[in-house]
Amino acid sequence: MNIEQLYTKCLAQGAYYIKSKNEAVIIDPLREVDQYIEKANKDGVKIKYIIETHFHADFVSGHVDLAKKTGATIVFGPNAETNIDAYIAKDEEELFFGDASLKVLHTPGHTLESSCFLLKDSTKKDIAIFTGDTLFIGDVGRPDLAQKSNNITKNDLAGMLYDSLQNKILKLNNEVIVYPAHGAGSACGKNMSKETYSTIGEQKEKNYALRQGITRQEFIDEVTDGILPPPGYFGINVSMNKNGYDSMDEIFKRSLKPLNIDEFCSYLEKDIVVLDTRNAADFAKIHIPKSISIGLEGQFAPWVGSIFPNLDKKLVLICPIGKEKESVQRLSRVGYDQVIGYLNGGIDTWINNHKNTDSIERINADQLLELYNENQNIIDVRKPGEFSSEHIENAFSLPLDFIHDNINHYPSGKLFIHCAGGYRSIIAASILKSKGYHDLCDVIGGYNAISKTSIPITDFVCPNS
């Protein structure tokens, strides 16, 4: 038997390929499914089951396409209501493949249908548990994503999650390996570790939500405290995972269209977003006016979904040469299937046709120190938790996550924008530019660089920040 974790950093997501004798199981696959088929063909095995731990909100799973291409059975846990052809397993049912099996453990809490799958070897020994979004490394799943159904509140779900963990997960042997669906950077939890697997024993010692003696009410209070509103695209992704979607082959066919300069410009007159997927430095140096920068080098797809939660919004792309397919593919991971095409030749085509360009001023942390005074407009676009931990004195906390809601809260005068490392601040600067804010400056290296200077920092949070 062999277990392979297929981790995608952009989504902070873990899919799993488990092989036993001549059969394999895929757990929580990504939408681009050919990678799993190629693995199975190389190993000479048949994919028997496609396991979905729950209806994912943060990405579009590959279960539908993979089932069509392989004939494998899609499996959900109890309480799953779906319009696709799938097997709804019972609690504690065993699914056999090769000489191994997966035992279904219904663990509601993150969502009502959330289930974990306990892997047993040929001797029936418990080897590993695939916990989906029920249990992360250092955290547990957020309990607010299913509260709109059946009038169930996040506190109700948090209580269910406590029961699931106490009655199903913590009773397992300490050496059982924990394989979650996500790691640090995912919006499905709030305190996830950078580690992508652990053991039950280690989590009993290190996970705040599993500490010995924690009461049900303490768990509810702690798990529900400080949860940010979910990104707007989450609900749409859940619907796609429940009801089906277009195949990746069809997405590539209609979206990977090179546009000449005239075709591209014709779309600029319509309500269509120009999305630039180049890196921050290249975008800052020169870009198409009113285009939005979200670079492929970071958590590209989740930020696109957060910034443009209406997944019906049409996009045209400016890509690094050779990265057009990757851009379309990664957009599709969060359900962005409305790409019209990309400018053939990228930004060089725009420049060579003598079109107007724009740029963003940038300075490094030492230059900010030279300019710094407490009356400047320092804009910190990190998440609230990052800001409250430590920030520049008198800085404004205006998180990128809520930039559209906060657009009228930006102060007048020149804006000095930073995040942690420089990725999010360019996104913010590009959005502000598109809204008419032109007197702004991006801080290269963000807070990681700023904290190494003598610019005054604090953990005091002003109520009006």
All structural domains of the chain, each given as residue ranges with its CATH number in brackets, are: 2-235 (3.60.15.10), 247-352 (3.40.250.10), 361-458 (3.40.250.10)
Q: Who's near 269: CB < 8 A, 6+ residues apart?
A: none
Using pLDDT thresholds of 50, 70 and 90, give the confidence band for residue 147: low
User: What is the C-alpha separation between 291 and 221, in angstroms, rounded?
Assistant: 42
**If you average pLDDT over every residue of the chain, what do you get?**
94
Residue 287 predicted with pLDDT over 70: yes
How far is Cα of residue 218 from the mean position of the Cα atoms in its chain? 28
The pair of three-digit structure tokens given for residue 74, joined into one six-digit string: 């899609």
Residue 464 predicted with pLDDT over 60: no
Dihedral (Cα; 304, 308, 311, 315), 10-degree rounding: -80
Percent of the chain with pLDDT over 90: 87
Report yes or no: 383 and 399 within 8 Å, Cβ to Cβ.
Answer: yes
Q: Who's near 42: CB < 8 A, 6+ residues apart?
A: none
Residue 465 predicted with pLDDT over 80: no
Name the amino acid, one letter, at 120. K
Burial of residue 30, with CB atoms counted within 10 A of its CB: 0-12 exposed, 13-18 middle, 19 or more buried: buried
- Residue 342 confidence (pLDDT): 98
**DSSP letters spanning 91-154:** TT-EEEETTEEEEEEE-TTSSTT-EEEEEE-TT--EEEEEEETTB-SS-B--S-SSTTSTT--H
Using pLDDT thresholds of 50, 70 and 90, give the confidence band for residue 54: very high
Higher pLDDT, residue 260 or 313: 260
This prediction has a pTM of: 0.92
Residue 238 predicted with pLDDT over 90: yes
